[in-house]
Chains A and B, each alone.
Chain A
Amino acid sequence: MTDFAAIGLELAVAATGLAVLLLDLWVRPEQRRWLTWTAVLAVAGIFVASFALTLPEPARLFGGLYVLDELALFFKRFFLLAALLVLVVGQEFADRFPAGHAEYSALTLFALTGMMFAASANDFVLLFVALELVTITFYVLTSFQRRRVASLEAGVKYLILGALSTGFLVYGLALIFGAAGTMNFEQLAASPPAVLESRLLTVGLLLVLVGLAFKIAAVPFQFWAPDVYEGAPLPTTAFLAVGSKAAGIVLLLRVWFVAAPALTASWAGPLLVVTALTLLYGVLCAIPQRSLKRLMAYSSIANAGFLLLGFCSGSAAGVAAVLFYLGGYLFAVLAIFLVATLAWRGTDTDAIADLAGLGQRSPLLAGVLTLGLVSLAGVPPLAGFFGKFLLLKSVLASATLHPGLYAVAAVALLAVVISLYYYFGVIRVVYWGQQAAAQQPPILLAWPARAALGLCVFGLLWLGCFPANVLNLAQLAAQSLPWR
């Protein structure tokens, strides 16, 4: 496999993005939405094509910079699926963009390219580059509703705070390079003990982790998330919650388990504390929220906590659980944002209270929204339940290694119960909330939206009821990390 054949998926995505951007200049305005549908089809095609790739064994390319293994492939598929749905959400949201919807699609595809590179990063340099590609695209995506102050403000906040965290990240990279003389994960892991025990490396690694923790919005680096999520346009928020977070997770997986496994293994205690705090902060702050986007922001913080549980367990089963959980999370979050986009078409609201009466206006949308929320809450027969089940199982299975794992499992349990409270609060509004005075008209759905909704529901139920296939993929992916 040549180097460029291996990055074919990324190239295809980038090419689609460029094509959309260029074609936008030629296509008449009223036909522009076809551009997005073409992009969607292209992404779907790439997604399907990704299954044609078979990996007898992991490939290391570009001098070890880039790795193509099951883990990378799992995440690439994940990002493709997420972007596909985000594109649909974006198209449904198009009426609220002042202009340049094709640019929005193109930017989404560029961010996707970054994420797909991140999935394969085997070196701090690629890590940085991929991450920046994602982040910088998101600065634009966040402030895309340029006539809306909230959107602009969110963009600025994200830009400045993101730059700050990138600063830490870069500084960390420099320290690592200074300490170990290499940027490659595997080479770093194979460094002599003296290097691995040096404070310089510790500080460098910590700073990198800070940068990644910022991406996944783990406590205490979560402050940006609520404001940015709230201000950004709905599709951007969805992509932030799913794609950006997953990119952070895959990089974190690589750094944590590949780059310095010995070092990170000794950081179990702090990790547990961070996990517990993230969980509690997310669920507690979500309770009083009135804005769906803000609620989802806190929910995404809480979910970062759940994902960190898999890191806590420190086992292949834990990582597999993280991957599976992300799958369920993808369908649930995108289902919710898709419904929100459709239900609030023609309005400029993100208040949960404005979902009142949805149960009567559109049983289908209400049903999908409910399934998404219920899945996030972790109730059978949906994907979220099986994900939480796997996470808890992996934590309890490793609990003999660190007694703190029992405590963190208890915190997780508490967090699930509290999270039920606010997720079900939304369901309450949907089905028996105080309705607005005038009876709102029923909602008409175009077939792409229906297809996307169907895809989400199918994903939620499939992962929940027949988890074996995806679980096998996740386990396979988890195996590509080096386990002793």
Chain B
Amino acid sequence: MNAVLPWLVLLPPLLAAITITLGALKRPVAAARLSIGAIALSLAASLILFARDASGVTSFTWLQVGGLAVEFGLRLDPVSLLMLLVVTGVGGAIHVYSWGYLEGDPGRPRYFAGLSLFSFAMLGIVLSSNLLQMFVFWELVGVSSYLLIGFWHARPAAAEASKKAFLTNRVGDFGFLLGLVLVWATTGTLDLGELETRLTVQPGALGTAATAIGLLIFCGAVGKSAQFPLHVWLPDAMEGPTPVSALIHAATMVAAGVYLLSRVFFLLDAPALTVIAWIGGLTALLAALMALQQDDLKRILAYSTLSQLGYMVLAVGVAGTNGTPVAAMYHLATHASFKALLFLGAGSVIHALHHQQDIWRMGGLARRMPVTFLTFLAATLALCGVPPLSGFYSKDVILVLAWEHHASLLFLLVVFVAGLTTAYMFRLLLVVFAGPARSQDPDHAHESPPVMTVPLLLLAVPTVLAGFWGIDAWLGRAYGVAPSPAGSWAEHLIAPFTHAPVPALAGLAAVILGGGVAWGLYRGALRDPLPVHLGRLSRWMRDRFYFDELYDRLIAGTQDAMAWVADAFDRWILAGAVVRGLHGAVELGGRALRLVQTGSLQTYALLLAAGVVLVLAWMLFR
């Protein structure tokens, strides 16, 4: 039983994707049913596994050449089980929601095929027992996200965005793959379990390559989780349909990077962790600043995602070599639910406003869309870290880690970002749902159909309650952390304040401060007042600190310039001067030699005689 169930988690979405591609590309309803049925099956199988607290690996050999053996295995442990639930649960809600959201779009079968493929790939990452296998699914996630982001490929922006997402990810994967090569070259294995055992027995097994390995694998996470400096793809990826944004940028794909880090946590050494922590912190800060000045509803959420991912990555980094990545995974889990909820709520709004995404053309939607508003509000509060919602607890763990790690600068940064988070989220909330309508669009808005609101309500449950489910303790088991004695829910409620009051209070203060500022600035505002106060800084924040422009220049200056040189060399020197030159020289030689044949008999006779003289002279006097 145990050998079959994990496959039942993994394979249904793949089969659905294949079936839709081969047979149901013209039948939207069948495609949707297949896709949703598949993810439901995966969810059910995951729940059974979860209930049984299954663990272990089932595998077969995928590739065996020389010293390289790659097992294709499905590894179950608390971390992967939790992640399975996140992916299938949040994913399932999004599948259902998509049915309503894409009503009437002719490309729906293709969409569901992509969605199923994506689910398959994501589940594959979660279940991988082997680093190369993980890389395989890693790439598959990349390509399926490419297909989904570019779903409306006729729109140039979507086409560009999907391309950018894939290519940026590829840069990260470049490091990831090299990291794998290095791991294999150093240890001779790519199996996660075996690597872990080996490193536990012999901590210095990686030798001098340790830092390099850690950082190279981290490159993969930087790409997928859109960390600085590869963060540029994520906001653009909002060109995809909103459920895709919810799936990719909330629950799954971007979380894969963090999941990867927690999977290979034992490989990371102190210098690598320091770099990881700082990259995470920097991303959190930059993204939060950018989010503050965006006007596109989904982009704000996208930057918010970036920022929260920065938190998670930072949490991995500050955990220290003796610590665990539990904090990161905890935040990942809670974030998955409330960020998915936020995206789906945003989708609901966008759907109601006929694809209007500019928040300054919205307003007063709270009354028109009560379910959307309330769930959105809950998710916002969770994201900001308002107790007792789930986000508060998971974020607090990170604050505590930073505090206990004596990374005072990082701690300040995290608190500051928490304040910024509240500020931009309240800005969003106030502008979209409160205040006057800022254009005609909201006038006709009404609540979305149940197929869309039910997933919202479902997701609201973990958003509110996940803080009490003991997710951190569940995860801790995977890393051999003894669970703290269970107390009553009331004790749990105030635990952060009793256990480590400074971070908890600092976080709460940041939330209040950020919320207050946003309340002051944006209550009833018709235009954004911030540019007036911040001037040029505001512009920088709005224009994303010009990273895209910088990269464009950089790419144009290096890669495209090199391509130009290579092409010119190929065209003019190799194919031109050398090849055509040789050809021309031979041809010219032929024409020149032909001139000897004058046709004149006297010349020939003379040359013949000269030839005889030459031969005789050479032979006799050599």
Chains A and B touch each other in the complex, with CB atoms below 8 Å apart: yes
Given A285-B594, A288-B590, A161 and B608 touching (CB < 8 A)?
A: yes
Count contacts on B: residues with CB < 8 A to the other chain: 26
Q: Which residues of B contact A165 (CB under 8 A)?
A: 608
Is A207 in contact with B612, judged by CB distance below 8 angstroms?
A: yes
How many angstroms between the C-alpha atoms of A207 and B615 in the bound complex? 9
Chain B neighbourhood of A226, CB < 8 A? 597
Establish whether residues A199 and B604, one from each chain, have CB atoms under 8 Å apart when the complex forms: no
A210 x B612 contact (CB < 8 A): yes
Please state if A270 and B619 are interface contacts (CB–CB under 8 Å).
yes
Q: Which of B594, B596, B620 contacts A288 (CB 8 A)?
A: B594
**Could you tell me the distance between the alpha carbons of A156 and B604 in the complex, rounded to whole angstroms?**
13
Whether B586 sits at the interface, judged by CB under 8 Å, is yes
- From A156, A223, A281, A285, B607 is in contact (CB under 8 Å) with A223
- Give the interface size class of chain A: 20 to 34
**Binary contact readout B570-604 vs A (1 if CB under 8 angstroms, 0 otherwise):** 00000000000000001101110110110101011
A421 partner residues in chain B, CB cutoff 8 A: 586
Q: Which of B601, B608, B611 contacts A156 (CB 8 A)?
A: B601
B502 within 8 A of A: no
CA distance A129 to B593 in the complex (A): 35
Q: Given A161-B605, A161-B608, A202-B620, does the pair A287, B615 have CB atoms closer than 8 Å?
A: no
Q: Is the C-beta of B566 less than 8 angstroms from some C-beta in chain A?
A: no
What is the bound-complex CA distance between A221 and B603, given in angstroms?
A: 12
Contact B601 A286 (CB under 8 A): no
- Cα A141 to Cα B610 in complex, Å, equals 28
Q: Which of A199, A203, A206, A284 makes the CB contact (< 8 A) with B590?
A: A284
Contacts of B597 in A (CB 8 A): 223, 226-227, 285
B301–chain A nearest beta-carbon distance, Å: 62
> Which residues on B sit within 8 Å (CB–CB) of A203?
616, 620
Quick one: closest A residue to B614, CB to CB? A220
Contact across chains for B612 and A223 when beta carbons are under 8 A apart: no
Expressed in whole angstroms, the minimum distance between the Cβ of A239 and any Cβ of chain B is: 21
Whether A224 and B604, one on each chain, are in contact in the complex, defined by CB atoms closer than 8 angstroms, is yes
Q: Is B609 an interface residue (CB 8 A)?
A: yes
Bound Cα distance A401, B586 (Å): 31
Residues of chain B contacted by A288 (CB below 8 angstroms): 587, 590-591, 594
Which residues of the partner chain A approach B594 to less than 8 Å between Cβ atoms? 285, 288
* Residues of chain A within 8 A of B596, CB atoms compared: 223
Question: CB of B62 within 8 A of chain A?
Answer: no
Check A160/B619 contact, CB under 8 A, given A220-B607, A220-B611. Answer: no
Nearest A residue to B592 by beta-carbon distance? A284
Q: Is A267 an interface residue (CB 8 A)?
A: yes
- Cβ of B60 under 8 Å from chain A: no
CA distance A207 to B619 in the complex (A): 11
Give the distance in Å from the alpha carbon of A226 to the alpha carbon of B596 in the complex: 11
Q: How distant is the Cα of A288 from the Cα of B592 in the complex, in angstroms? A: 10
The interface residues of chain A lying within 8 Å CB-to-CB of B489 are: none
Most buried by B among A157, A206, A285, A421: A285
Chain A residues within 8 Å of B593, by CB: 281, 284-285
* Shortest Cβ gap from A413 to chain B (Å): 14
- The yes or no answer to A37 lying at the interface (CB within 8 A) is no
Give A161 to B597 CA distance when docked, in angstroms: 14
CB B210 to nearest CB in A, in angstroms, measures 54
B597 CB to nearest chain A CB (Å): 5
Q: Mark A285-301, 1 if CB is under 8 A from B, else 0.
A: 11110000000000000
In the complex, chain A residues 68-98 whose Cβ is within 8 Å of any chain B Cβ: none
B605 touches A206 (CB 8 A): no
User: Is the CB–CB distance between B590 and A287 below 8 Å?
Assistant: yes
Chain A residues in 8 Å Cβ range of B603: 223
What's the least CB distance linking A352 to chain B, in Å?
15
Q: Tell me, in angstroms, the Cα distance from A288 to B197 when the chains sit together.
A: 75
The reply on A164 being an interface residue by CB < 8 A is yes
What's the minimum C-beta distance from B284 to chain A, rounded to whole angstroms? 65
Contact at B590–A286, with CB atoms within 8 Å? yes
Q: How far is the CB of A265 from chain B (nearest CB, A)?
A: 14
The reply on A168 being an interface residue by CB < 8 A is yes
Chain B, Cβ-Cβ closest to A161: B604
Q: Are B619 and A418 in contact (CB under 8 A)?
A: no
Chain A residue numbers with a CB within 8 Å of B615 are 206, 210, 220, 270
- Which residues of chain B are near A214, meaning CB under 8 Å? 608
Contact of B619 with A206 in the complex, beta carbons under 8 Å: yes
The chain A residue with its CB closest to the CB of B595 is: A285
Interfacial chain A residues near B589, Cβ < 8 Å: 284
Contact yes or no, B611 A221, CB < 8 A:
yes
Asked whether, in the complex, the Cβ of A227 is within 8 Å of the Cβ of B599, the reply is yes
B620 & A161 in contact (Cβ 8 Å cutoff): no
Q: A206-B619, A221-B611, A223-B604 are in contact. List 17 more A-B contacts (CB 8 A).
A: A160-B605, A210-B611, A210-B612, A214-B608, A220-B611, A221-B608, A223-B596, A223-B597, A223-B603, A223-B607, A223-B608, A281-B593, A285-B590, A285-B597, A287-B591, A288-B587, A418-B586
Chain A interface (Cβ < 8 Å from any Cβ of B): 156-157, 160-161, 164-165, 168, 199, 202-203, 206-207, 210, 214, 220-221, 223-224, 226-227, 267, 270, 281, 284-288, 418, 421
**A–B complex contacts, Cβ < 8 Å, 19 sampled:** A160-B601, A160-B605, A161-B605, A161-B608, A168-B612, A202-B619, A206-B619, A223-B604, A223-B607, A224-B604, A227-B597, A227-B599, A227-B604, A285-B593, A287-B587, A287-B590, A288-B591, A418-B586, A421-B586
- CB-based closest 6 A-B pairs: A220-B611, A287-B590, A284-B590, A223-B604, A284-B589, A285-B593
